[in-house]
Amino acid sequence: MKKVLAINSSIRKNNTFNLLKKIEKKLNEKDIMVDFINLKDYNIKECVGCELCITKDICNLNDDMDILMNKLKNYDGIIISTPVYMSNLSGKLKVFLDRTCRWFHRPELTGCPILLVSTTAGSGLKDTFLTLEKIMYQWGAFPVGKIGRSLGNLNEDVKDKDIDNFVMHLYMDKCKFKPNLNQLINFQVQKVLAVKILTFDRKYWEDKDWISKDYFFNAKIPIVSKIISRSFYKMLYKKVNPVNNNF
């Protein structure tokens, strides 16, 4: 049985949470189990900007982030949800995502299927999904569905077509995943950082055997995308000067 984690980042259990519950019902019908976490129930301190998580894999903030980040690793897929606040994601979710910055440099959820969920009074869904999608690429995770609702269609049922792609990816062999060009370029940017800037990361990338690769795992990559992303890597590699650091 597949297990999915649904993250509610609204302080209330209202529109977004109710939509998550509808998605849970639909996933349960397909024998997929859903656990919930409400970010408000956890102690999540704001990032203080020390960058120790990036440079030394250390965080001196004593809170629940380690528990949460370890929890996320135990699921076949993740549902990330947010109400639209001021045209984008909720502050609660942003604070949480900022604290996962180490996963940009040393990704741990590579290929994890992600379903993005958001509710709004009327505007901001597009930008919210765009922001979340980019952050998921930075995690190395794999956004494969979006469900957005506004006041006009808040009570609409969740349909099979809303979750089909997410469910399919939960069962699919990763070699059949098709990363898009943005994901491939993001991978190459992360690789240049690991190889040239953050030498602390280099060993992590070597151990994962990613340095000679086009993506985190063998996936279906069209030849044109391969050529473009490889050329991008070469261009960026040349442009970026190694930093003399103590990392």
Ligand X SMILES: Cc1cc2nc3c(=O)[nH]c(=O)nc-3n(C[C@H](O)[C@H](O)[C@H](O)COP(=O)(O)O)c2cc1C
Non-local (6+) Cβ contacts of 224 within 8 A are none
Work out whether 12 is an interface residue with ligand X (CB under 6 A).
yes
Non-local (6+) Cβ contacts of 238 within 8 A are none
Non-local (6+) Cβ contacts of 27 within 8 A are 4, 33, 34, 163, 167
Query: Which residues in 162-181 contact ligand X (CB under 6 A)?
Result: none
Work out whether 86 is an interface residue with ligand X (CB under 6 A).
yes
The residue among 87 and 231 lying less far from ligand X, judged by its C-beta, is: 87
Contact of 122 with 151, CB cutoff 8 Å: yes
Rounded to the nearest 10 degrees, the angle between the axes of helix 181-192 and helix 223-239 is: 30
Task: State how far the Cα of 172 lies from the Cα of 217, in Å rounded to an integer.
Answer: 14
Output the smallest distance, CB 127 to ligand X, in A.
9
Tell me the window of 61-69, 100-108, 113-121, 134-142 that interacts with ligand X (CB under 6 A).
113-121
Tell me the window of 9-17, 108-116, 131-139, 201-209 that interacts with ligand X (CB under 6 A).
9-17
Work out whether 226 is an interface residue with ligand X (CB under 6 A).
no
Question: What are the backbone dihedrals phi and psi of residue 145, each rounded to the nearest 5 degrees, phi first?
Answer: 180, 150
Task: State how far the Cα of 108 lies from the Cα of 60, in Å rounded to an integer.
Answer: 20
Q: Which of 15, 100, 128, 186 binds ligand X (CB under 6 A)?
A: 15
Query: Which residues in 46-85 contact ligand X (CB under 6 A)?
Result: 83-85
Output the smallest distance, CB 243 to ligand X, in A.
39
Work out whether 113 is an interface residue with ligand X (CB under 6 A).
no
Q: Which of 10, 128, 183, 190 binds ligand X (CB under 6 A)?
A: 10
The residue among 42 and 204 lying less far from ligand X, judged by its C-beta, is: 42
* 101-137: b (≥16 Cβ within 10 Å) or e: ebbbbbbbbbbbbbbbbbbbeeebbeebbebbbebbb
Work out whether 16 is an interface residue with ligand X (CB under 6 A).
yes
Give me the residues that bind ligand X (CB under 6 A), please: 10, 12, 14-17, 83-87, 119-124
